[in-house]
Structure 1
Amino acid sequence: MLSIAKRYSRRVFQAGIAAGALAVAACQPTSIGDSGPAIGPQIDPGQPVQIALLVPGGTGNQDLDWLGRSLANSARMAAADADGAEIDLRVYTTTPAEASAVEAAEKAAAEGAKIIVGPLFADSANAVGNAIKDNNLNVLSFSNNTEIAGSNVFVLGNTFDNVADRLVSYGVGQGLRRFLMVYENDAAGQIGANAIQSAIAQNGATLSGRQEHALSQSSIDSIIPAVTQAAKGDQIDAIFMTANQQAVLPYLTDQLAEAGVTSREAQLMGLTRWDIPAARLQLPGVQGGWFALPDTSMQRQFTQRYRSAFGEAPHELGSLGYDGVAAVAALAGSGNRNAVNTIGLTRPAGFTGVNGVFRLRRDGTNERGMAVATINDGTVVVIDPAPRSFGRGFGF
């Protein structure tokens, strides 16, 4: 049977797209209206800006503690890089429990924090947002789950919506019009499927079919004939897979390849990083497939600096700590009194982070500039570079 292992002991936390799909929160905050009141205080840019950073620590989970360490170290780098602003960064460690995150946020608010960066998990971020709403503070969570976005909660993680829109829009530009969607029946698969379906509609393409599978070899095997028939019968131009669980992509693409379906018959593409882990690059089924990447040149520079400063590589999601602090520092450094409120945080020009340009939307979601990449003979090749600014071609 297909072995599916969750990285962390939350409902849906996974790797793959800079920040994997975080657990769906039960309570949804109200979205920010275009003309609604600004949330968050004004600051004196000439004074230190107090930022509270909520990261996991002391959890007993080696990978989770590494991520927490990476988030904190990356945030410290951003504070040190601040140009024209002084950042008073205070780090609070939390367990994965919602109550722990809320306790840390309330303590930070009492100690004078002007904004909360973190926490990691979506349900905790939602709870923190609700708990400190009366304190008039914004929360820049590390989640990528757009279902918690709104009111005073923003998501910094790269979202399925961003990836889906980037790949579909590029595909449409290359003449692909008919998409078949293949997705898991778990929570992240459903969220990913919704993102793909929305991207197809928004870009004027057609959803020609959908195939859902459980997290098992037998379930994946059961959909292969229908996918093969669609691809070989010239019914579709592309197959868009969520493949959000690490074991799914290798098995699914291998089974399709054995059935004679590769990117030559219908363009394969996916929501997750197909180059992580590196062993995936040698899989026959992924050759020629498309996936989205951050600005790799900026990412390499950051990794080199981080390794030199801290003696280890950063966690793949650790750079979100840099992005959150860097956004506030950029605003404060320019003398913007709205550096921690929704007026400043949602500026259309956005910010430059470790993974490239990004901006926060008024509804709490984000937009990130990404490259489109493929795999040729086991090598990653960027076929459409990441944009360096939010100019033409980006809606807000």
Structure 2
Amino acid sequence: MAAAVGAAGLLAGCSGSTLGEFQGYPSDPNAGTPPVTADTIGTGTVRVGLLLPMSSGGGAPGLPNSPGAQPPATSVGQVFRNAAQLALSDFQGADIQILVKDTGGTSEGARTAAQDAIADGAELIIGPVFAPAVGGAGSVARSSGIPVVAFSSDSSVASRGVYLLSFLPQTDVERIVSFAGSQGRRSFAALLPEDAYGAVVEAVFRQEVGKLGARIITIERYKPNDADDLRAKAQAIAAQAGNIDTLYVPAGGSVPGFVAQVMQSGAHLSQVKMIGSGQWDSPEVQNTGLLAGAWYPGPDASGFQAFADRYQQNFGSRPPRNATLAYDATILAAGLVRSAGPSRFTDRVLTNRDGFLGIDGVFRFLPNGLNQRGLAVYEVTGTGARAVDPAPRSFGSAS
């Protein structure tokens, strides 16, 4: 059973034998740690570094986070700091102090920020956000034996001890292709951006379709931000629509609706089920009538709505979709301090196979630094979206 990291702000000790019991904690925790004069949240005895692009005006986020678009670098640092602050206010009696360190959104800035946090006694690093910064912080943390729970969705920066809490493209593809297969879909095509994100999802798409024993009829790759090329590649797929029952289009924004228009103009849309990714979790996609009936994966929506309401009450604005990452990471840190004692941030505890239950549902870290999430499947209605297959609440004993 997953440990709870939910909206109530409490993380219970993981049940079962994978975490174990630790008696008598704390006993003189953090004796002799240095004083901290930087930006802090909370007054607990266990120190956790929070590495964010507080002063950055730009930066490369790596692969697109899903669901939804990542907020701009000028705001993401403050948004994630707010979410961490909200988490500590929700978790009564949290015995952690968060040390907020500015990465500037760069690898070198993150390296310095990680060094500062560790020198100040941090036992765990949360963040950074951008892939280059995760690489910089990870190199420092690994040499010091300090684990990292980061927010980039670029799987290339994950490794043992550097865990990604983000919404990963791999999990999206696995969920939606598996669901399509369960609904009898057997002939697939894909329309992918010709970039790093497209390369990642193509590899997983091929693998997952193969697991179904299904066929890939064609894969077309288009130049991002080139409408003419996108139209030409969509038309190439439409020409083979008679052999296709499922079309995978992971890009969000205006792309799915544009592709649907092209398919409809050739009278092929009714023959082909369109499926997407967590990037479809936006009004622009959900309210497009031509996409009605299309499927996409995403976390349970109810948890985010409750979180967003509390965030707005406290900070006066609605948070971006991925602000829950900072909230869940903070609750995870506080909960493990409470439940796992001196072993709180060890690899064994962080990669507990039962996982944890957060705002966005159940998740667990893998030994290679990637994660698995329990996602729902949604159907576009043209006036929003509805869940057609709920997210699992646990990973199950056999998983």
User: Normalising by structure 2, what TM-score?
Assistant: 0.82
1:222 to 227, 232, 249: 232
- Alignment of 1:54 with 2:51, yes or no, is yes
Change (3 A) 1:141 1:166: same
- Alignment of 1:92 with 2:98, yes or no, is no
2:169 to 160, 163, 168: 160
Cα drift, residue 316 of structure 1: 1.8
Query: Alpha-carbon deviations, 1:69-99, whole Å to 9, x = none?
Result: 1211111222333366411111112212211
Match of 2:273 in 1: 267
Match of 2:304 in 1: 299
Alpha-carbon distance in structure 2 between the residues aligned to 1:58 and 1:71: 13
Match of 1:15 in 2: none
Query: Alpha-carbon deviations, 1:230-273, whole Å to 9, x = none?
Result: 22x1x1221111225x34333222222222232x3111011243
Alpha-carbon distance in structure 2 between the residues aligned to 1:225 and 1:247: 17
Write out aligned runs for 1:1-396 (5 A).
45=26, 47=29, 48-60=45-57, 63-82=72-91, 85-215=94-224, 216-231=226-241, 233=242, 235-243=243-251, 246-262=253-269, 264-276=270-282, 278-391=283-396, 395=399
Q: Is the 8 A contact 1:83 1:329 kept in 2?
A: no
Secondary structure of the structure 1 residue equivalent to 2:271: coil
User: Normalising by structure 1, what TM-score?
Assistant: 0.82
Alpha-carbon distance in structure 2 between the residues aligned to 1:381 and 1:177: 24
Alpha-carbon distance in structure 1 between the residues aligned to 2:165 and 2:214: 28
Alpha-carbon distance in structure 2 between the residues aligned to 1:304 and 1:287: 28
Secondary structure of the structure 1 residue equivalent to 2:321: coil
Cα RMSD after superposing both structures: 2.1
The size of the alignment, in residue pairs, is 347
Change (3 A) 1:45 1:82: farther
Alpha-carbon distance in structure 1 between the residues aligned to 2:388 and 2:221: 29
Secondary structure of the structure 1 residue equivalent to 2:260: helix
Point out where structure 2 has 5 or more consecutive residues left out of the alignment.
Answer: 1-23, 30-44, 59-70
Point out where structure 1 has 5 or more consecutive residues left out of the alignment.
Answer: 1-42
Say which is worse superposed, 75-84 or 354-363, in terms of deviation. 75-84
Secondary structure of the structure 2 residue equivalent to 1:75: helix
Match of 2:20 in 1: none
Say which is worse superposed, 142-151 or 247-256, in terms of deviation. 247-256
Q: Is the 8 A contact 1:182 1:211 kept in 2?
A: yes
Q: Is the 8 A contact 1:193 1:242 kept in 2?
A: no
- Percent same amino acid at aligned positions? 28
Alpha-carbon distance in structure 2 between the residues aligned to 1:389 and 1:375: 26
The one-letter amino acid paired with 2:200 is I
Alpha-carbon distance in structure 2 between the residues aligned to 1:107 and 1:309: 29
Change (3 A) 1:335 1:275: closer
